[in-house]
Structure formats: C-alpha cells, structure tokens
Structure 1
Amino acid sequence: MSKANFEALPIIDISGLFSDRVEDRMAVAADLGKAAREVGFFYIRGHGITAGRIAGLRAAAADLFARDFDWKMGYHIGLGRGHKGFVPEGEEIYGGGKPDHKEAFDIGFEASEDHPFVVAGQPLIGGNKWPAIDGFHDAVSSYYADVFALGRKLFQGFALALGQDEHAFDALVTCPPSKLRLIHYPVDPTAEDTPGIGAHTDYECFTLLLADQSGLEVLNGEGRWIDAPPVTIDGEELYVINIGDMLEIMTAGAFVATTHRVRKVRNERYSFPLFFACDYETKIRPLPEFDPSGAKTAEYPDISIGDHMWSMALQTYRYLREKVARGELTLPENARSTNTFGQFKTLAEADRG
C-alpha cells in the first residue's frame, strides 16, 4: 500500500503496546510507523476502551443533544473563557466557506484556575462547562480520561516508530489543549452527496475518532476520496487514528497529515474525536533529531502549537471571527491561514475531479 493509491485504511492491533515485553511494543510501533508514513490514517483494535465506557459516552451525548436549543445555548462555547461548550449548527466554517451541518459539545483537558497555564492566560486552557444533566459529568470525564490515556500510549508507540525512546514525547504533554468533541449530525432525509464538514487536516498531533455511521472520507495521493466507515471486529469498536499537522511538522514530514472530510448522511450520526495535542507553548518546528541540518526548521515561522490552534479557531468559529472583525481579538503573530498544512496542495485537483 502506498500513499498514492490506498483504497482502504489499514487495521493495526495495538494490544502489544500494553505488553511488558519491549519486543511486543516495537512490533506494534513498526506497524504504526508504516501506516503513519504511507497513509496518515488507520484503524486500531486492542485499544482497551471498554464497551461500557463507550456506551456511557453515547448515552450522555444523546441526552444532551435531545435538549431544547435555547437550553443548549446556555452552554455556548463563546460564554466565558476557555473556548469550550456547545457549538450550534453553522458556527464553524472551514476552507470551503460553507457552514457545517452539525452541532457539537467540546470538552477540554481539565485545568484549575490556579494552574500556571491558566494564570498565564493561555487561550484554550482551563475548566469545562458541565451541563446540568444527571450522570453527564461522570460519563464524559471518565471517557475523556480513558481515551486521553490511550493517546499517551499511542504517542509512545509513535516515538518508538521514529527511532526514539518511547518516553521521548512525554514531557511535551502535561496540560495540553486536547479537545474531545461530542458531535451530532441530525436526521436529514433530504441530504444530498455534499460535505457536512469541509475538507481539512487536523491541527493537533493526531486524532482518535469513534463514529457510529459512515460519512468520513480520506483523500489519497491520487486525489480520490476513500470511504472510512465504522468497523467492529469480534464485538470491539475500532478507533480511527489520523496524523495531524503538528506531528507532520515535528517529524519533518516523516509522518503525513492527510486531508479528510465528512459527507452528509441521511441517518442521525454521532462522532467522538479526541484531538491529541502537545502543551500550548510547544513550538511548531521539526524536532532537532528529525532535522539535524536545520534546513526544514528554517521554513517555519516562530509560532507555538497553542497559538496555531487558537489562530485556527479565530478563523473558523463564527463568534470568534466576529470578534476579530470588531478588533476585540487579533490573530497571533506569524499565524497562518486555515489551509496551509497537510495535503491541501492536492485538494483543488481533487475537487475538480
């Protein structure tokens, strides 16, 4: 399988990452590295997230999105600080300039008001808005803890795949702007074959996605959109993992951030991505071990991961775009537009095909 012509996503059993035997962890790392270099997307099984934990998350999300719109707007993402909470349909606009047909609720890494990152005023860092729904906090926070721990384990596997010590990246992830999104696509019997979320690469290091309906499509190197439906094997729901902008850059392009989109579907659809990121002040540049000459590093402006993520939010969310237009907020220095990483260079050709 090559990046140019893949027709389906590879499936990797990662149970060996939890083994005490380094040989088992290295074997999984080799598979992770191959998929990250050649495709940028893959499924994982043997992840250890229980069916009960996933069921609890789904029940909490269904309860939330069934509530009255005005009630949900009481937890709007623009209320208070931290950029967390309810995202109504049409709030986000990606590269194509068309609002997305979905609603969402965003949960972040929990940080207390006296955490140094919060005291320093870092956007995206802080507490969460927890809806007044019985059991919601316990179900969602427990799931977040489990899937974030899985992300840490994958990051260690990626380190091994890159020839590093498996704990080489641990210090980069202490209190990151890692967001869990509960996403709901309403029933739409009139849906046509048009995007629900516009084509994009993810800003963070990598994404762990669980969805219950088809709709996700991945752009291969020949400019064709490849379906990535939900997969269950022996009763275990598999996660979709995709490399994001940050890991592509950190590895000087060894791993690829692959463009993807969500197509509209007529059935109701729930999607739960966890965007795994490094700490806010981590600089966007290749790590020295992947760019010893510094040639590729020189191509990147001086901007942190957090500022890049914040600048993407400022250019994507309607309420933030309006604040920028009014001069209440400004883009961080050296901010890029929303379509300059990953495989966007092939997107125009794909859309014309």
Structure 2
Amino acid sequence: MSTTSTVTAFDRVPVIDISGLYSDRLEDRLQVAEALGNAARAIGFLYVVGHPVAQTTIEGLRKATKAYFAQPLETKMRDYIGASKTHKGFVPRGEEVYGKGVPDLKEAFDIGFEVPADHPLVLGGTPLLGPNEWPPLDGFREAASRYYDEVFTLGHKLFQGFALALGLDEHYFDEMAKAPPSKLRLIHYPFNADAEDAPGIGAHTDYECFTILLADNPGLEVLNAEGSWIDVPPIEGAFVVNIGDMLEVMTNGAFVATAHRVRKVSQERYSFPLFYACDYHTRIEPLPQFNDGERRYEAMAIGEHMYAQALQTYQYLKRKVEAGELSLPQRSRKPSSFGHLKQQSMND
C-alpha cells in the first residue's frame, strides 16, 4: 500500500464501515484497511460504523456524565485534577490553554487506563499512570469503566487495521499498548446564549496515536490543506477517528495529524474522546519503509511527548514548571507542532 501522504483540500470526512475488520477472511480485513489508510493519508479524519460498542454502553455514559456535571462546582472541585497523583479527575473551566490561546468555556472529567498502584511502572513514578480516582457518584464508575473498556477494545482493532494499511503484520502494534497513558475525557460545553460562531478549543492536534470520539452536537471542525475549516457533525451510530502525532511520526508524515478545533456554539454539548496511545516508554520513530532519505521527525518516547504537552497546556502543571517543581523533557515540542501546524519549531 502507498507510503506517501496525499493531503487534500477535502470538503467532507468519509464514513468507513469497519465490520470487515472482524471477519475471518484476510481479504475483508485488507479491504477495510485500505479505506482506513486512504483516509489517514488524505485527510487524517474519518467516521467509523459497523463497530461492536453497545448503544446501552453509550447511553449509560451519557447519563452518568450529565449527572456528574449537574453537581455544584464545589462538589466537582473535590475531584480537581490538580490535586490528583496521576493527572486524572475534574478539569474546571479555564484550566486548559492551547499555546497562546484563551481559556475554553468547558469543563471535563479525565479518566485513564486503569493501572494498579503496585504495577512496576507506577511504583517507578511514571507520569500519567496509576489508578483512577473516582467520584462518589452512584453508577459513575461502572458506566465510565464499561465505556472505556469497550472503546479501548475498538481502538485495539483499529490499530490492527492501521497496521495492515501500512503493510505491516496486523498484530504489529499489539504489544505496544499493554498499560498505556490512554485518556478518556468526558467534556461538557454548557449552554452559552452569548456564543458567536467562533473558535472554541483552539486549533490543535492530538498527542497520541489516534482518537476515537463520540459527540452529541455539532461544533467540531477540521482544517483542510487549503486552510479552510470543515464541519464534522455527529452521525448516529458512528465514531469520529482522527490520526494523532505519534502515527504521524511513525509514518514520517504519510499519515497526517490534522489540526482541528471546536467551534463556539450556543447549545449545550457533550463530547467523549478516547485518546489511544502506546505504552509510556514506547520509542516512536519513523518505520523503516518510510525512510525516503528525508527524516522529518526525531525519535521520542510517546509518554514523554504526552507529558510535555500536558505540562504546557494545563494551568496547574504550567505553574509547577514555572516554580521549578517540574521540568519539561528534553527536546519537548510546542503544542500542536504536527499536521498543518508543524511549521512550529521544536523547543530548545
């Protein structure tokens, strides 16, 4: 299959039926993989249908999320991410700022891959890893855990499809995501009667390998090769999948981590992205078949890249860096220095 990026001035995001990935016939899996690869090279975004995530699981998460965010702010702040040991929990409005942008009028609750406290990586002090810290809200943990498990399993299958699309054995990536810093975000955009049709979350790329998104209202926009913003509205029964920084590195730019943003809209909106990552210490560098004589990316540890981005985005972590309590990993990249935003230089 092609190893060359063909980013286009697309005006829509394709819908791909991935049911063939679950077929016993290799030719069925290859057919889906080809469609996944074409979208990853030309757009960096796609919808997937034909997945096995149960509608009851999705509805359970929506119900639990609405119940959580309906609580008073003082109650939610008991779960403040800045007080957690593993960068998980409640994210209040204004906590995240991308680059030089303004804080977003949204709130979130961040959940990670459940890594037990006695895991060697946790005992070794690996950032971003450890047990989740659950709020004492009836049914919340059960609903969020069920959704996480089903969508993470979907991500495992998609990674096999991307492997086939890259001409690799479909199990090539299987051992790379055993205890990853893969985050599920429950995001709430409150009703805003004063909102104008303008950017919300600033233009950015996602740090990980790829993202699996469920949203219940419009607002997501994707940047095409001509610099135009293209709407990616919700489709019933579909997830939005987009390529992240790490797959762009592994493919030496053939797969593109396309910049995207959330437009400010007046209606209340819930969004559930799961960021599928490899294990923290996985060394990410261009795969051999993408060696065209021009190495566009330095090798990096995926966890260090993710941690560096968080240190430059979350206000509580930025304060710790400024105070000298934490420091950026060497050769950290600025936020959103991939995809159409890759003209930003690396930090010294």
Normalising by structure 2, report the TM-score.
0.95
List, as ranges, runs of 4+ consecutive aligned residues in structure 1 with deviation greater than 4 Å: none
Q: 2: CA distance between counterparts of 1:161 and 1:332?
A: 32
How many residues of Structure 1 are paired with residues of Structure 2 in the alignment?
339
Cα contact 1:95–1:199 (8 A) shared by 2 = no
Deviation at 1:46, TM superposition (A): 0.4
Deviation at 1:96, TM superposition (A): 3.8
Closer, same or farther in 2 for the Cα pair 1:292/1:193, shift >3 Å? Answer: closer
Q: 1: CA distance between counterparts of 2:54 and 2:100?
A: 37
Cα contact 2:337–2:343 (8 A) shared by 1 = no
Q: 2: CA distance between counterparts of 1:217 and 1:96?
A: 20
Q: Which one of 335, 338, 343 corresponds to residue 341 of structure 1? A: 338
Q: 2: CA distance between counterparts of 1:303 and 1:17?
A: 30
Q: 2: CA distance between counterparts of 1:114 and 1:345?
A: 39
Q: 2: CA distance between counterparts of 1:140 and 1:317?
A: 23
Q: Partner residue of 1:107?
A: 111
1:1-353 → structure 2 map (5 Å cutoff): 3-232=7-236, 237-291=237-291, 295-296=294-295, 299-300=297-298, 303-345=300-342
Deviation at 1:346, TM superposition (A): 7.6
Identity of aligned residues (%): 60
Q: 2: CA distance between counterparts of 1:339 and 1:261?
A: 11
* RMSD between superposed Cα atoms in Å: 1.4
Cα contact 1:77–1:86 (8 A) shared by 2 = yes
Unmatched runs of 5 consecutive residues or more in structure 1: 348-353
- Amino acid in structure 2 at the alignment position of 1:175: A
Query: Which range moves more in the overlay, 6-15 or 112-121?
Result: 112-121
Normalising by structure 1, report the TM-score.
0.93
Unmatched runs of 5 consecutive residues or more in structure 2: 1-5
Cα contact 1:12–1:42 (8 A) shared by 2 = yes
Deviation at 1:292, TM superposition (A): 7.5
Q: 2: CA distance between counterparts of 1:345 and 1:312?
A: 14
Cα contact 2:305–2:333 (8 A) shared by 1 = yes
Deviation at 1:345, TM superposition (A): 4.7
- Amino acid in structure 2 at the alignment position of 1:202: D
Closer, same or farther in 2 for the Cα pair 1:242/1:212, shift >3 Å? Answer: same
Cα contact 2:112–2:182 (8 A) shared by 1 = yes
Q: 2: CA distance between counterparts of 1:48 and 1:96?
A: 40
Cα contact 1:204–1:245 (8 A) shared by 2 = yes
Cα contact 2:155–2:276 (8 A) shared by 1 = yes
> Is the partner of 1:140 in helix, strand or coil?
helix
Cα contact 1:303–1:333 (8 A) shared by 2 = no
Q: 1: CA distance between counterparts of 2:104 and 2:304?
A: 24
- Amino acid in structure 2 at the alignment position of 1:261: R
Cα contact 2:84–2:133 (8 A) shared by 1 = no
Cα contact 1:92–1:100 (8 A) shared by 2 = yes
- Amino acid in structure 2 at the alignment position of 1:252: N
Query: Which range moves more in the overlay, 223-232 or 96-105?
Result: 96-105
Cα contact 1:95–1:200 (8 A) shared by 2 = no
Q: 1: CA distance between counterparts of 2:26 and 2:39?
A: 20
- Amino acid in structure 2 at the alignment position of 1:270: Y
Q: 2: CA distance between counterparts of 1:290 and 1:172?
A: 19
> Is the partner of 2:283 in helix, strand or coil?
coil
